[in-house]
Structure 1
């Protein structure tokens, strides 16, 4: 069963420097109260929509991450935000950490098109794992971001924006993963080639779960788990979680699918999963029961994951469109899904787009 919800964006806030509309590249979604938080993969901003009386979302506000964090690149190169989560009055966000392979351009000569396929690019701002203070206005119910603000639960303590230590070529996370036997061979491979590619972030207390779209290893997808800690200077570091490393790896047999989004509901984790590379293919939502109750590395076979429903995707003439990338929990029975490269039938007017509401529990 599928319903639709309209998302309305402001024309003054919706275009990036290249003229791409925010609705055309939605990459993550998170619901906090009546606020739907979204990101677009080719921007340095986070978008906030508010639930309207008719059930749709509008009143678009945009927050530039440059105003809160010290990004490695100051030229507003994209962060490629692929995950958001919230805990303890902090909004967490993560970049894809992936490399890009250039696309051939049809007007170019064949030689030039082939040359472009050999070129790999890195965006410095993609290596971001950060948190920004977020508080709800008790009068309006709206959530707002701050660079620094007093903790409403602990008077005198300040909440301040911070990020995992890193630079233009990587971060503490990539540094430790470059030594990992499962992941290291894929760190220099572009995301769309089954290389290292983050898509999805979920938080439970101090634990941060990071979904990998790639690599997928013989049909097995991975979820990383880390616990950032703040030093006196406000820089985030990784807590040692095992004797060998500051992270845990969880392996999930999604039969070849990579992870597009993660969300925690109660003790369970919902996984939006789809093709790891630049392919059309089945996209589905799974439930990993009691995911947050385990504090050791996990390996789940396919029959240990509950397949909740399939998500529509573009096929035939619409190949390459309607790529589900964002998942927000509406209630115990329903989730909201947003799409990158929406089909024409989703587009409403000049600035709006339709998201899907799917029932995951009958």
Structure 2
């Protein structure tokens, strides 16, 4: 069962300095109260919309992450935010941590186009795993971000923005993964080439589940699990979770699909899964039953996952369009899906776009 909801962006905030409208590059979505939090893959900000009486989301407010975090490259390069989640009065967010291969420019000579395809580069701000205090404004009902704020549950404790140790080329997470037998061979491969590429973040208590779009190995997708802790200097580091690693690895047989987003609902994790490479293909939502009940590494066969529904994707005249990227839980039965590169039919006026609402629990 599918419905639509319209997302309205402020004309003054929707179009960035680079000219790309935020509605054309939505990469993740998270729902809290009456607020829908969104990110555009080419920005260093996150966007907040608020539920309206007609069921749409509007009243757009943009939060510049330079005001809360120490971005290595400030606003000179994108973060490529690919996941958000909320726990204990913190909004968590994560960058893709991926490399990118340059695209050929059709107006160039063939020689130049071929040369560009050999170039691989990184965006210094992509190596980000961070948390920002988020509190509900009782006067407006909206959640808002703070660099630091009193903890409503612990009067003697202060909530502070913090991030995982990192720099312009790596983070503590990528440094430990460079020694991993399944992931290390893919760390220097661009995300769209089935290289290392984070897409999705979900939280259960202190545990953070990180979805990987790539690599997919022999048809199996991976989810990493970490527990960041704050050190004496106010930076985050990774708690040791196994005898030899500060992370757990979970393998899911999605039959070749990579993970685009994940969300905790009850004891289950819901997965948005689709092609790892830059192509049109089936995108579907799966349920990973009782995923959070085990604090050990899991290997989940395809028949142990529940395939709930397919999500529209580009084809024919819409090839390369309607790439489902974000999954937000609206209530205990429905999820909202947002799309990167939406088809023209999804666009509403100059500054709006349609998202899909799907029922995942009967």
TM-score by length of 2: 0.99
Match of 1:270 in 2: 270
Match of 1:56 in 2: 56
- Does residue 1:350 correspond to 2:353, yes or no? no
Kept in 2, the 8 Å contact 1:10–1:351? The answer is yes
In 2, the alpha carbon distance for the partners of 1:263 and 1:288 equals 10
Query: Residue 13 of structure 1: SS of its match in structure 2?
Result: helix
Q: Deviations for 1:113-154, whole angstroms, at most 9, x for unmatched residues?
A: 000000001001000000000000122210000001010110
Q: Report deviation, 1:75.
A: 4.0
Structure 2, gaps ≥5 residues long: none
Kept in 2, the 8 Å contact 1:214–1:221? The answer is yes
Query: Residue 112 of structure 1: SS of its match in structure 2?
Result: helix
Q: Report deviation, 1:361.
A: 2.4
Match of 1:72 in 2: 72
In 2, the alpha carbon distance for the partners of 1:142 and 1:54 equals 17
In 2, the alpha carbon distance for the partners of 1:272 and 1:156 equals 40
Q: Report deviation, 1:156.
A: 2.0
- Does residue 1:4 correspond to 2:23, yes or no? no
Q: Report deviation, 1:251.
A: 0.1
Query: Residue 173 of structure 2: SS of its match in structure 1?
Result: helix
Q: Report deviation, 1:359.
A: 1.4
- Does residue 1:212 correspond to 2:189, yes or no? no
Match of 2:151 in 1: 151
Match of 1:110 in 2: 110
Match of 1:360 in 2: 360
Query: Residue 14 of structure 2: SS of its match in structure 1?
Result: coil
Kept in 2, the 8 Å contact 1:16–1:42? The answer is no
- Does residue 1:307 correspond to 2:307, yes or no? yes
In 1, the alpha carbon distance for the partners of 2:64 and 2:192 equals 27
In 2, the alpha carbon distance for the partners of 1:31 and 1:187 equals 31
Match of 2:39 in 1: 39
Q: Deviations for 1:321-351, whole angstroms, at most 9, x for unmatched residues?
A: 0000000111222110000000000001100
Match of 2:172 in 1: 172
Match of 1:318 in 2: 318
In 2, the alpha carbon distance for the partners of 1:74 and 1:285 equals 35
Q: Report deviation, 1:2.
A: 1.2
Kept in 1, the 8 Å contact 2:44–2:75? The answer is no
Alignment of 1:162-311 (within 5 A): 162-311=162-311
Q: Deviations for 1:68-88, whole angstroms, at most 9, x for unmatched residues?
A: 000111243100000000000
Query: Residue 11 of structure 2: SS of its match in structure 1?
Result: coil
In 2, the alpha carbon distance for the partners of 1:134 and 1:204 equals 17
Q: What do you get for the CA RMSD once the two structures are aligned?
A: 0.7
Structure 1, gaps ≥5 residues long: none
Query: Residue 221 of structure 1: SS of its match in structure 2?
Result: strand
Kept in 2, the 8 Å contact 1:240–1:246? The answer is yes
- Does residue 1:28 correspond to 2:21, yes or no? no
TM-score by length of 1: 0.99
